[in-house]
């Protein structure tokens, strides 16, 4: 089994990487996974929809009522009257759904690997990490990512430029090393990002811009199919820098039939 020590040792053996080669391989892989990328977005939206409804339907009703009554104190009275139970429900709901979304994103990296290896993929693969043994890690990793991003924004966005890369690697590192501790996953993500930060940053930004431009050309509908492209350079970078332990993959197949 791959350990954090082995992981870090592999980082010291990385050879030169080429931007064009990684980007081209990302496009080739995307040609295989575009449908799964679309399903990723659809599943994520479907999961997030309940909390969105719970959060915004009362607010929409408040806006309508405030418009009809022209009461400037309506918003103040509304938030003052919110029960503690409702607030707790919203917080718990956000944590649970955020963890589920993180788990599905991590599963998408496994799906990319399976399709990269020409293996069969099913809908069940999207929910691979929605198991009791992974939920604690997905919640903590999601919270770390959110707080790190928020802190970066509070510090006038400049740190966010740096954090984009390690935060992008967290789900990938977790996906292929779910046995790592939370602290080891975070440590490995930062070490991985720091090794080729400029290359990774350029690939992430270019892939994000390309997915937005190409998706926008199709009157916005194309974004449903192109938004997942940004995950592909991260996967290819991980593959090039760390690789996959085939022995672990074989053991995983034996344990994933549950």
The domain limits of the chain are: 4-255
CA 258 to chain centre: 24
* Angstrom distances, CA of residue 150 to CA of 125, 156, 169: 31, 10, 17
Give dist(CA 182, CA 258) in Å, integer: 24
Q: Which one-letter DSSP state was computed for residue 49?
A: H
Tokens of 238: 């991980």
State pLDDT tens for residues 132-157.
Answer: 899 999 999 999 999 998 888 888 77
Q: List the one residue out of 30, 183, 181 whose CA is nearest residue 108.
A: 30
Per-residue pLDDT of the chain (258 residues; tens, 9 = 90+): 578 888 988 888 888 899 999 999 999 999 999 999 999 999 988 888 877 777 676 666 666 655 555 555 555 665 555 556 667 777 787 888 889 999 999 999 999 999 999 999 999 999 999 988 999 999 999 999 999 988 888 887 778 889 999 999 999 999 999 999 999 999 999 999 999 999 999 999 999 999 888 878 767 678 888 999 999 999 999 999 998 875 554 345 444 444
Stated pTM of the model = 0.85
Q: Are 47 and 100 in contact (CB under 8 A)?
A: yes
Q: Are 165 and 145 in contact (CB under 8 A)?
A: no
């Amino acid at each position: 089994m791959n350990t954090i020590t082995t992981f870090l040792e592999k980082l010291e053996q990385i050879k030169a990487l080429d931007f064009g080669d990684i980007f081209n391989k990302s496009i080739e892989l995307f040609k295989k996974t575009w449908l799964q990328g679309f399903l990723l977005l659809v599943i994520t939206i479907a999961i997030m929809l309940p909390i969105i409804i719970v959060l915004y339907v009362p607010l929409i009703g408040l806006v309508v009522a405030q418009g009809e009554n022209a009461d400037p104190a309506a918003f103040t009275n509304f938030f003052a009257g919110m029960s503690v139970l409702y607030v707790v429900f919203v917080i718990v709901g956000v944590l649970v759904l955020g963890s589920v979304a993180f788990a599905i994103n991590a599963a998408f990296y496994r799906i990319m690997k399976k399709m990269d290896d020409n293996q069969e993929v099913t809908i069940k693969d999207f929910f691979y990490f929605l198991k009791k043994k992974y939920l604690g890690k997905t919640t903590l990793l999601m919270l770390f990512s959110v707080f790190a991003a928020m802190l970066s924004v509070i510090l006038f966005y400049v740190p966010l430029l740096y954090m984009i890369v390690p935060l992008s690697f967290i789900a990938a590192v977790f996906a292929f090393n779910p046995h790592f501790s939370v602290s080891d996953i975070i440590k490995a993500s930062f070490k991985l990002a720091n090794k080729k930060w400029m290359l990774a940053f350029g690939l992430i930004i270019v892939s994000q811009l390309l997915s937005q431009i190409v998706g926008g050309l199709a009157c916005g509908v194309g974004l449903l199919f192109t938004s997942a492209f940004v995950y592909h350079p991260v996967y290819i970078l991980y593959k090039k820098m760390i690789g996959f332990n085939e022995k672990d993959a074989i053991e995983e197949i034996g344990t994933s039939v549950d």
